[in-house]
Amino acid sequence: MYTKYEEMTVIKQTFENFADGQKILYAQEIAKVKEDTSRISSDINSERALGVVENGVGLLRDYMNNYHGAMSVVAELNKATMCYEQAYTPEQLQPGGIAEAKAREGNRIFYDIRTQNPEYKRIMEGIAYNLYKDGDPMMSGVGKDFVFDGKADELKKDFEAGKITKDQLIYYTNMCWALTQNKDYIEHISQPKETKPAPIAF
């Protein structure tokens, strides 16, 4: 359906978009804190000023950590994609040539990022869970096992039917998988479903 290189580029764009979003939120929060603090009392007996500042600083720290975490993942993904993007000669593109070896190296880097990078895991699972909470229809019907619960096949069928693009297939395949790894989501779907009381016969 798609190559490892195509998957890398979509994931890299996802992290770049996330980092850009955190940068915007950071700037907005800076402006909000400035506005809030300009209106509060300078009375040392007032605790409201401290509360406003502490809350703002906490959010700014979160946005900053998210931004730097995402960009650190982008830097690693760049190493993987660069293995594919070097200018190879016709000879190097032949089977067994250097291009093939570099592609394997890129795939290994990508695999290591996905399995060993804590920032990749944290951010991917966070994005996925937020998509689910926001009611993204593509995130519905995800069980505990992404593959065996049929969601992977559902996405492939949507792609084959032209309902979603290849980039969307890659994006949501990865997001649905990340959702099944999110502890909050696993806890949520593990809770017993509410059942309606049986009707009373009379």
The Cα diameter of the chain in Å comes to 85
Is 90 inside a domain boundary? yes
| Domain end (from 116, 137, 169) | 116
Distance CA 114, CA 125 (A): 12
| Interior angle at CA 168, CA 22 and CA 17, nearest 5 | 15
CA distance 13 to 65: 19
pLDDT at position 88 is 84
- Same domain (yes/no): 69, 153: no
Tokens (6 digits) for 189: 């779907």
Residues 44 and 29 in one domain: yes
Angle between helices 98-116 and 4-39 (to 10 degrees): 40
In this prediction, residue 28 carries a pLDDT of: 95
Q: What confidence score (pLDDT) does residue 48 get?
A: 66
What interhelical angle do 48-85 and 98-116 show, nearest 10?
Answer: 160
- Rounded mean pLDDT of the chain? 88
Within this chain, do residues 64 and 145 fall inside the same structural domain, yes or no?
A: no
- pTM, whole model, 2 decimals? 0.85
Answer yes or no: is 92 within a domain.
yes
Can you list the pairs that 149-155 forms with residues at least 24 positions away whose Cβ atoms lie under 8 Å?
Answer: 151/176, 152/176
List the domain range (segments joined by +) for residue 44: 1-116
Q: What pLDDT shows up at residue 148?
A: 60
The answer on 32 and 132 residing in a single domain is no
pLDDT for 158 equals 96
Assigned domain for 154 exists: yes
Q: Are residues 137 and 78 in the same domain?
A: no
Q: Is residue 199 part of a domain?
A: no
* DSSP tag of 148: T
* Residue 196 is assigned to a structural domain of this protein: no
Predicted pLDDT of residue 46: 63
Backbone angles phi, psi at 85, to 5 degrees: -100, 5
pLDDT of amino acid 202: 26
Spans of the chain below 70 pLDDT: 39-50, 147-148, 193-202
